[in-house]
Structure 1
Amino acid sequence: MITFDTNQLDTMAWNNTVIQMLIRLGEYKGKQALYFQQSPEILTALKNVAIIQSTESSNRIEKIIVTSKRLELLVHEKVAPQDRSESEIAGYRDILEVIHSSAEHMRVNNGLIKQMHRDLMKYATGAGGRWKQADNNITETLPNGNVLIRFVPVPAFQVDTMMQSLNTGFQAKRDNGGIGDLILIAVYVLDFLCVHPFSDGNGRMARLITLLLLYQAGYEVGRYVSIEKIIEETKEQYYNTLYHSSMHWHEGKNNLLPWIEYFLSIMIKAYQRFEERVGSLDRGRGWKARQVEAVIKHMMADFTVADILERCPGIAGPTIRQVLNKLSREKQIESISMGRNARWRKSEI
């Protein structure tokens, strides 16, 4: 049952974990503008990396994989897709670009969602843009080869009505203003996945709609840090929380909390990465070296120059190597392998 058609949200008592995460995310959102006024070259580099990572991760979750070289060429529209996987990548790229450029003008309704799905599938099958024609199940293939049904979504004949209810219910709650945007977005995504309105592409559509709704609510971090990549890194938790929060959904008696806590946690991770990569608001002399040192300080495992480059967009390799040599002389880090792909480790002092 669509959550917005029940009184679950109105009667829920939020635990301290959720309250603290919402406060923290409010603080991150409040600081966004300060960071956006900083070095444009860093933000541009972050955006370029995030687009590639988002396209790759959201598709890889669904086992759609291409080589890194082909991925970059496809994302930058330098080649045409050559097979089904590349066609799926190209479709995702196109919708992501539209969301990045036009989110504020995209009112979420049945028509828009079907249009997005049509564009997602246009290179692959050309059969997108319509609700599923047959019932589908969410399944898991076990190591022994047996298939486990994890959830039975809404039957095909009910999809249009349920999606209409989801979109109008979400909009009404948002207009009312009594419940925070992040909670509403998390619940919308959960309900969308429980409806499972398409025969293919539901997971990718859910992640694209997540970004769209976040941008409309003023949470811009997904432009600069790939939320899809964080979901991929926490894929097991992603599926487990979806499973637990979808139990008894049809009766309107499901537990929203596991999914909401997970959703808020990935948002916090995204903002943490954003602040780590943008670095201090201090842009005085020597800030690049200080930023590299701060990134190295937070490394939890062995690392390479490439690892630091990813976290320090706009800072050149020679600057990073100078910092590595300095910290090595000070015995704060040590080299554990040499050569082109040299690896480093923080010293145990």
Structure 2
Amino acid sequence: MRSFADLDRLIGQVPASVVIRLRDIDTGRGSEGLYRHQLPALLTELAGRARVQSITASSAIEGVVVPDIRRAQQIIDGSAGKLRDRSEQELAGYRKALDYLFQEHWRPLNIGLILHLHRLLWSETTLKGGDLKIDDNIVVDRSPDSTVTVRFVPVPAAKTESYLVDLLDRYEAAQQAGAHHPILLVGLAVLDLLVIHPFADGNGRVARALTNALLLDAGYEVCRWVSLEQSIADTADEYYETLLRSTHDWHQDEADPWPWLGYFVGILASAYETFARKAAADRSGTTKQERVRTYVLRHAAPVFQLSEVRAALPGVSDQTIRLVLDQLKNEQRLMPEGTGRAARWRRIPLPRV
């Protein structure tokens, strides 16, 4: 099935739950310009954090992990020197691909762009990227007992190029026509790209990197400030499950796109909610210590780490966060558990009166 062959039939009737979330997205989009002018320092900090999260999370989804956080940061900011192993090389490659889409004029959207992203992804390894698959592939699950289950069968290698060119052409035409919500079109393009599965390896990372570019191109910039890849990593089971459900019977032109599109729209709407919450906190006029105190006592999980407070309150230093945590410990509102980077804090409920 080629999702863009008959869009009116496929997505002409949008489920009510998806309509609501699309409205939330468009509302959030309307605030982007306001925040850009009023909170430039906050957006710069959010963008830096989102970049790091996107690079590490999208890689981690594929099992590519650099355990040392400081080392990973050095790789991402380009100060790591010689890359030590395959994971470090692939992390650096995803950094190149994502930075290219965010910082360069990547237009036009064509097969050359897709190949270039794949080439960047593998550019730090000994493998050669930038070539379409030459053998048919399948996507499988491997259970702990070594049982292999086929999740779906991609497009045959012999048809990959023609399907990919057709997808990109039809996507561009659909966005220009404006008959369907642009977010649904981005979601469908990602779904079809993953089913085509044009490469022997790296398809998920190429698709997730390209998702950011397509959203930016459609006028939805939240992915600059909130990492969609991190949100996907946090909900990885749902991510894979909805993709699987929407790839069933794809080749027979009978697939149901709404499990995947519902998930995709939900992830984006949640990103806008996170963005709005962080912007509101920055504009609240309260002191940084008050913001930490409010977050810890009202919004944080019952047991949390300092890093979670840092992520929720950009612009607040670790020193300020530790100061407030110590104050709350002295007030017997928090109890520390452990020491060092792994330390956690447990909120102590107020006694009932």
- Deviation track 1:22-77 (CA, whole Å, cap 9, x = no partner) reads 01111111111222234433322222221111111111111111122221111011
- Name the structure 2 match of 1:81: 83
Please say if residues 91 and 119 of structure 1, whose CA atoms lie closer than 8 Å, have aligned partners that are also in contact: yes
1:51 aligns to 2:51 (yes or no)? yes
- Name the structure 2 match of 1:217: 218
Relative distance call for 1:290 and 1:106 in structure 2 (3 A) is farther
1:137 aligns to 2:153 (yes or no)? no
Shift of 1:279: 3.3
Which residue, out of 96, 99, 102, partners 2:101?
99
Shift of 1:220: 1.4
Q: Distance in 1 between matches of 2:167 and 2:288?
A: 47
Shift of 1:325: 5.7
Residue correspondence of structure 1 range 314-329 to structure 2 within 5 A: 314-324=315-325
1:263 aligns to 2:264 (yes or no)? yes
Q: Distance in 2 between matches of 1:266 and 1:9?
A: 24
Of the structure 1 ranges 338-347 and 220-229, higher mean CA displacement relative to structure 2 is found in 338-347
Please say if residues 96 and 208 of structure 1, whose CA atoms lie closer than 8 Å, have aligned partners that are also in contact: yes
May I ask how many residue pairs the two structures share in their alignment? 346
Q: Distance in 2 between matches of 1:342 and 1:61?
A: 25
- Name the structure 2 match of 1:119: 120
Shift of 1:200: 0.8
Please say if residues 222 and 275 of structure 2, whose CA atoms lie closer than 8 Å, have aligned partners that are also in contact: yes
* SS of alignment partner, residue 279 of structure 1: helix
Residue correspondence of structure 1 range 28-67 to structure 2 within 5 A: 28-67=28-67
Q: Distance in 2 between matches of 1:225 and 1:75?
A: 17
Q: Distance in 2 between matches of 1:123 and 1:164?
A: 27
Q: Distance in 1 between matches of 2:280 and 2:326?
A: 21
Q: Distance in 1 between matches of 2:11 and 2:315?
A: 48
Shift of 1:256: 0.5
Q: Distance in 2 between matches of 1:342 and 1:172?
A: 51
Residue correspondence of structure 1 range 144-163 to structure 2 within 5 A: 144-163=145-164
Q: Percent of aligned pairs with the same residue?
A: 33
Q: Distance in 1 between matches of 2:243 and 2:11?
A: 21
Of the structure 1 ranges 114-123 and 273-282, higher mean CA displacement relative to structure 2 is found in 273-282
Q: Distance in 1 between matches of 2:91 and 2:265?
A: 27
Shift of 1:300: 2.8
Q: Distance in 2 between matches of 1:330 and 1:279?
A: 28
* SS of alignment partner, residue 314 of structure 1: coil
2:165 alignment partner AA = Q
- Name the structure 2 match of 1:299: 300
Relative distance call for 1:309 and 1:142 in structure 2 (3 A) is same
Q: Distance in 2 between matches of 1:169 and 1:326?
A: 59
Shift of 1:198: 0.5
Q: Distance in 1 between matches of 2:158 and 2:208?
A: 24
* SS of alignment partner, residue 280 of structure 1: helix
Please say if residues 276 and 311 of structure 1, whose CA atoms lie closer than 8 Å, have aligned partners that are also in contact: no
Computed over aligned residues only, the root mean square deviation of the Cα atoms, in angstroms, reads 2.2
- Deviation track 1:168-188 (CA, whole Å, cap 9, x = no partner) reads 110111000011111000000
* SS of alignment partner, residue 104 of structure 2: helix
Q: Distance in 1 between matches of 2:156 and 2:204?
A: 17
Of the structure 1 ranges 47-56 and 164-173, higher mean CA displacement relative to structure 2 is found in 47-56
Please say if residues 38 and 281 of structure 1, whose CA atoms lie closer than 8 Å, have aligned partners that are also in contact: no
- Name the structure 2 match of 1:26: 26
Residue correspondence of structure 1 range 169-318 to structure 2 within 5 A: 169-280=170-281, 282=283, 284=285, 286-296=286-296, 297-318=298-319
Relative distance call for 1:8 and 1:248 in structure 2 (3 A) is farther
